[in-house]
């Protein structure tokens, strides 16, 4: 199959003066509460605003995204994080689901691999998860399943026990089997499993693309911090519609 290529031209020049910290992040007096900082009618607008804040701090990388060399990794899209009845519910997650479905559809159309991670723990493999969080997500947890909206795409599932989807899992082996060299990351939570896995992917030699509007977490400040960290040295920030457009171009190029 011939490949279509889309160059992500998002590099900018460094600002002439480093902005004050308060210009980039709010300074809450108490621990930030959960918020729906992404909503269905403002997701892309909010994501662009967050990326502009990062651009004021450092230049962004411009890396060619090649769909024919890429895999999609959607992290922990389980009901425990997505269902309003769960104590771990992420209000901002609801707004990213339709966009992630579109990305998954695009990857499926060009027959590129789609991986889902599922966070599962036992007392034996939890390690510090056992002391850090209120409860373990076990195989018997009533909300352990991946959200049903993704059912048509769930063919490759990686069960993980820590934030890093590569840690003691067959993820890297599977990616090598499909001969991919780029990884698109979306899902939850932005600043925990998504960020940790993006760093790990980089260290394993995968060109990593991080979905700015395709990840979600508890509060915008955590999301903003992840973007600042990853764009400095680990991943290319990209929007869901850019991935879809690149896949569509690849599909058109591959037609005889």
- pLDDT of 159 strictly over 80: yes
Q: What is the mean pLDDT of residues 154-163?
A: 98
Q: Is the pLDDT of residue 8 over 60?
A: no
Mean pLDDT along residues 161-173: 98
Between CA 209 and CA 122 the distance in angstroms is 31
Position 15 pLDDT exceeds 50: no
The residue ranges of every structural domain in the chain are: 71-254
pLDDT confidence of 31, banded at 50, 70, 90?
Answer: low
pLDDT at 95 over 70: yes
Tokens of 183: 């990884």
Residue 30: band (very low, low, confident or very high) from pLDDT cuts 50, 70, 90:
low
Residue 38: CB partners within 8 Å, gap ≥ 6? 46, 47, 92, 93, 95, 96, 213, 216
92 CB contacts (<8 Å, ≥6 apart)?
35, 36, 37, 38, 39, 216, 217, 218, 220, 223
Q: How confident is the model at residue 250 (pLDDT cuts 50, 70, 90)?
A: confident
Assess whether pLDDT exceeds 70 at residue 119: yes
In whole angstroms, give the CA distance from residue 219 to residue 167: 26
pTM of the entire structure? 0.89
Assigned architecture for domain 71-254: 3-Layer(aba) Sandwich (3.40)
* pLDDT given for residue 256 in this prediction: 66
Secondary structure in 3-state letters for the chain: CCCCCEECCCCCCCCCCCCCHHHHCCCCCCCCCCCCCCCCCCHHHHHHHHHHHHHCCCCCCCCEECHHHEEEEEECCEHHHHCCCCCCCCCCHHHHHHHHHHHHHHHHHCCCCEEEEEECCCCCCCCCHHHHCCCCCCCCCCCCCECHHHHHHCCEEEEECCCCCCCCCCHHHHHHHCCCCEEEEEEECHHHHHHHHHHHHHHCCCEEEEEEEEEECCCHHHHHHHHHHHHHHCCEEECHHHHHHHHHHHHHHHCC
Burial class of residue 122, CB neighbours in 10 A (0-12, 13-18, 19+) = exposed
* Residue 255 confidence (pLDDT): 67
- Average model confidence (pLDDT) across the chain: 89
- pLDDT, residue 27, reads 56
208 has a pLDDT exceeding 90:
yes
Local confidence band at 19 (pLDDT 50, 70, 90 cut-offs)? very low
pLDDT at 79 over 80: yes
Q: What are phi and psi of 247, to 5 degrees?
A: -65, -40
CA 220, CA 92: separation in Å to the nearest integer? Answer: 9
Average pLDDT over residues 60-65: 89
Query: Cα dist. 200→156, 166, 192, 246 in Å?
Result: 19, 7, 12, 24
């Amino acid at each position: 199959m011939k490949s279509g290529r889309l160059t992500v031209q998002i590099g900018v020049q460094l600002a002439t003066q480093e902005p004050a910290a308060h210009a980039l992040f709010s300074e809450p007096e108490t621990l930030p509460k959960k918020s729906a900082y992404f909503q269905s009618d403002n997701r892309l607008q909010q994501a662009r605003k967050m990326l502009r804040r990062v651009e004021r701090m450092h230049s962004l990388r411009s890396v060619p995204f090649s769909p024919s060399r890429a895999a999609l990794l959607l992290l922990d899209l389980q009901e425990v994080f997505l269902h309003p009845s769960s104590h771990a519910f992420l209000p901002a997650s609801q707004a990213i689901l339709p966009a992630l479905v579109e990305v998954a559809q695009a990857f499926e159309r060009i027959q590129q691999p789609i991986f889902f991670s599922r966070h599962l723990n036992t007392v034996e493999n939890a390690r510090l998860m056992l002391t850090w969080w209120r409860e373990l997500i076990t195989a018997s947890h009533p909300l352990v399943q991946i959200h049903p909206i993704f059912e048509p795409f769930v063919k490759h599932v990686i069960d993980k026990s820590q934030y890093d989807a590569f840690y003691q899992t067959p993820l890297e082996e599977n990616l090598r089997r499909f001969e991919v060299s780029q990884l698109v990351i979306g899902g939850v939570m932005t600043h925990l499993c998504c960020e940790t896995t993006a760093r790990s992917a980089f260290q394993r030699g995968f060109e990593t693309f991080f979905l700015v509007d395709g990840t979600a977490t508890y509060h915008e400040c955590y999301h903003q911090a992840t973007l600042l960290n990853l764009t400095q040295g680990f991943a290319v920030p990209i929007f869901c519609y850019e991935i879809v457009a690149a896949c569509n171009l690849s599909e058109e190029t591959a037609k005889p």
